[in-house]
Amino acid sequence: MIERTVKQIWETALGELQLQVSKPNYHTWLAKTVGVSFKDNEFVVSVPNTFVAEYLDNNQRSLIEKTLIGLTHKDIKVSFYVNGNHKCPAKESDSLDSLPKRQVSSPRLNPKYTFDTFVAAECNRLAYSAALAVSENPGKRYNPLYLCGGVGLGKTHLLNAIGHAVLLKKIQVTYVSAEQFTNEFVSALREKRIDEFRKKYSDTEMLLMDDIYFLSGKRQTEETFFHIFNDLHNANHQIVVTCDRAPKDLQGLESRLCSRFEWGLIADIKPPDFESRLAVLKARAKREGIDISTEILELIAQHPHQNIRELEGSLNRVTAYSTLFNAKITPELATRALEALAQKQTSTGSVNLTKIVEKVADSFQLSVEDLKSRKRGKNIIIARQIAMYLIRQETGASLSQISKELGDREPITISQACKKIASDVESNSSLRQQVTEIQQDLHN
C-alpha cells in the first residue's frame, strides 16, 4: 500500500467532503479540522471546539466514515477531539505537529506567518509596504495602521509578521484578537481587575489587534479599548488592527473610535487577481518542495479563487490526490482534482432560507409570521436570532438577503444576532442542543 500520512488522508477526505456538503457548511464545520492519528481503525480528527465536535458527531459522522472508507478501504470509525484535549499514543505524537495553531485565543504568534512567507503581490501591495514600514519604524509612521480586506486575504498573516519582526528588535509587543480581548475584559470586570487589565494593554510598546469588528456593539469593551488606544497613541506606541471592512462601514462601533482609526493609514487588501494567485502558488510550491510545473500552477490559478486560503486549499487538494493515487502531478490529475470542486461550488445547496425559517419556527412552536413580525417576546427574539445565525451558517446568505427573509431587519441587528448566537452556543449547552437538532432536521 502507498505510504500516506494521516494528514494527507484527511486532506483528501476533506477534498471529497467539500463536494458533498454546501460551501458554508464546509467552511463552518470542516475547514478547520485536521487528521491527527489513525490506529486500529480509529481515525482521530482534531476540531477547534466542542460545538464543532458535537455537530460533526451528530450530523456528519456517517458521511465522513463513508468517505474515509472509500479512500482507505478499511473499516473506519471516526472520533472528534477538541484541540489539545486528545492524548495521542506516544508513537504518533509527531502527528500532533499538524494541529492548527490556536492563534485566535493565544497571544503566541503563529511561527509560519512571517514576512518571509508572505508573497507581496498587486492585491496586497499597500498593506504589505505599510506593514513593513511599521515594523521598521514603529510608532513613527502610519499610527494606527488599519489593515482591511475580506476573509482569507492575509490580514492575520501580516499582523503576525509585524509581531515577529518587531520582537527581533526587543520591542514589547502584544498580539490579541478582539475576541480574546473582549473575553479577558469580561473576566477582569467580573474579578474587579479592570485597572490591571487596562495597564497591561496601555503599557505595551506595540498593540496588534486582529478582527477589530468583534468589538462592535460591546459598549464597555469598546470604551476601554478607546482609552487604551489613546494611552498608546499619546505615548507614540504603535497600534495595528485588522478588520474585514473599512472603518466607515463598521456599524455598531462608536464614531469616535472609527475616526481614531482614520487618523493613521487604512490599507486594504483586495481579492487576488490571476498574477497574484500564481505568485502565491509558486512561492508556496517552492517553499514546500512540491514538484509541480508552472503550467499546472497556472491551471490552478485560473480557477476563480476569491481568497488565498481557498487557493492554498486547491493546491493541497492537487498534491493530496497525487500522493493518494501515487501518481505524478499532471494537468489531467490536477484538472480531475479541481473539476469536482468547481462543479460543487456552482451547484446550489439543498438548504434554502425559507426552509431554515420554517424549521426554526417549528422548533420554537411559533409561526413563520411570528419570526417575520415585529413582536418582541423573549422566545420570539431568540428564535429569530437563531434563524439569522443558521441562515448565515448554512447558506452564507448576505445580510440583506437575511433581512428580506425575516421581515426587513437592520443589517447590524442581524450581524449582532449571528455573533451572539455563535457565542451562546459555545457556552449554553441546551441552546447548543436545540440548534444542533434544527441543523440535523435541515439535513435529513
Instruction: Provide the binding-site residues for ligand ADP, judged by CB under 6 A.
Output: 113, 117-119, 124, 149, 151-157, 280, 308-309, 312
Q: Could you tell me the three cell numbers for 275?
A: 498574477
What is the spatial distance between Cα 301 and Cα 291, in angstroms, rounded to a whole number? 16
Q: Going residue by residue from 107 to 146, which x/- string records binding to Mg ion, judged by CB under 5 A?
A: ----------------------------------------
- Which residue shows C-alpha cell 487576488? 272
DSSP-assigned letter for residue 91: G
Please state, as a whole number, how many other Cβ atoms lie within 10 Å of the Cβ of residue 91: 9
The yes or no reply on residue 103 touching Mg ion (CB under 5 A) is no
CB of 68 or CB of 240, closer to Mg ion: 240
Per the CB < 8 A criterion, the answer to whether 174 and 207 are in contact is yes
- Closest-by-Cβ residue to ligand ADP is 154
CB of 154 or CB of 163, closer to ligand ADP: 154
Peptide bond into 144 cis (omega under 30): yes
- The nearest distance, CB 208 to ligand ADP, in angstroms, is 12
E strand or H helix at 350: none
Q: Could you tell me the three cell numbers for 408?
A: 426587513
- The nearest distance, CB 26 to ligand ADP, in angstroms, is 16
CB of 16 or CB of 210, closer to Mg ion: 210
**Order of strands across the sheet that contains 145-149:** 173-177, 206-210, 238-243, 145-149, 265-269
The yes or no reply on residue 156 touching Mg ion (CB under 5 A) is yes
- The nearest distance, CB 119 to ligand ADP, in angstroms, is 4
CB of 78 or CB of 297, closer to ligand ADP: 297
Paired with 38 in beta bridges are 43
Is residue 423 packed enough to be buried (19+ CB in 10 Å), middle (13-18) or exposed (0-12)?
middle
- Which residue shows C-alpha cell 472520533? 79
- The nearest distance, CB 342 to Mg ion, in angstroms, is 25
What is the spatial distance between Cα 409 and Cα 403, in angstroms, rounded to a whole number? 5
> Could you tell which of ligand ADP, Mg ion, none binds residue 280, using a CB distance below 5 to 8 A set by kind?
ligand ADP
- The nearest distance, CB 338 to Mg ion, in angstroms, is 25
DSSP-assigned letter for residue 329: -
CB of 102 or CB of 219, closer to ligand ADP: 102
Stretch of residues binding Mg ion (CB under 5 A), selected from 127-135, 155-163, 188-196, 276-284: 155-163
CB of 144 or CB of 152, closer to ligand ADP: 152
> Could you tell which of Mg ion, ligand ADP, none binds residue 131, using a CB distance below 5 to 8 A set by kind?
none
Rg of the chain taking only CA atoms, in angstroms: 23
CB of 45 or CB of 308, closer to ligand ADP: 308
The yes or no reply on residue 307 touching Mg ion (CB under 5 A) is no
Per the CB < 8 A criterion, the answer to whether 11 and 317 are in contact is yes
> Could you tell which of ligand ADP, Mg ion, none binds residue 15, using a CB distance below 5 to 8 A set by kind?
none
Q: In sequence order, which ranges of 290-377 are alpha helices (DSSP H)?
A: 294-302, 308-324, 331-346, 353-363, 368-372
CA-CA distances (angstroms) from residue 221 to 108, 201, 290?
22, 13, 46
> Could you tell which of Mg ion, ligand ADP, none binds residue 247, using a CB distance below 5 to 8 A set by kind?
none
- The nearest distance, CB 154 to ligand ADP, in angstroms, is 3
CB of 308 or CB of 380, closer to ligand ADP: 308
List interacting residues with Mg ion (CB under 5 A): 156
